[in-house]
Amino acid sequence: MPTDNITEMGEAPIGRLLVKFSLPSIAMMVVNGLYNMIDRVFIGQGIGTDGIAAVTAAFPLMLVAVAVGGLFGVGSSTLISIALGSRREEEARSVLGQAFLASSLAAVMVVGAIHLVMTPVLRLLGATDGLLPLARNYLSIVLVGFLFQIPSMGIGGSLRSQGRPRAAMLTVGGLPDLEAFP
């Protein structure tokens, strides 16, 4: 973990840090919003209103992945920030590795749990008999992405806490930033 990032976070003006950290986060949120919007446009054009209704029924389960990824991202970034502030870089590295492993295992567990209870939960969320096959198909595809989304969100929070907001944005967006990993 480069010490210049740590030093900058402790000494740089707040305004400059705010811009440095907020712009990549805003860009990431815009891309995520565009993904959801474009997804619905294609589904609406290809399948119609039933497809959009099926995606809407599955959406709360997608928020579960966001919540679990955020859990690891926020928790690990807090511990990493404390360790880096105390100049314990080895401890920060250890937390980063543990967060990646734990979030990867959690992703597998979340995908497995959702897969097991998919039909009753989709019914609870409003999927009718006609929409259930479409919602199940959509969610089955999205579940594969959860295996990558949850750990990338956990790592994204950790990278931000190390003073690397650009790397966090690229990691959560699925793009590698090779300079981010020493």
Listed by start position, the domains of the chain span: 3-172
Closest to 122 in 3D by CA, of 66, 61, 64, 65 = 61
pLDDT higher than threshold 60 for residue 37: yes
pTM of the model: 0.75
How much is the average pLDDT of 16-44? 78
The two three-digit tokens of residue 129, written as one number: 């008999």
pLDDT higher than threshold 70 for residue 85: yes
Please count the CA atoms within 13 angstroms of the CA of 39 that sit on its side-chain side. Answer: 17
Which of 66-70, 119-123, 152-156, 174-178 has the lowest average pLDDT? Answer: 174-178
pLDDT higher than threshold 60 for residue 114: yes
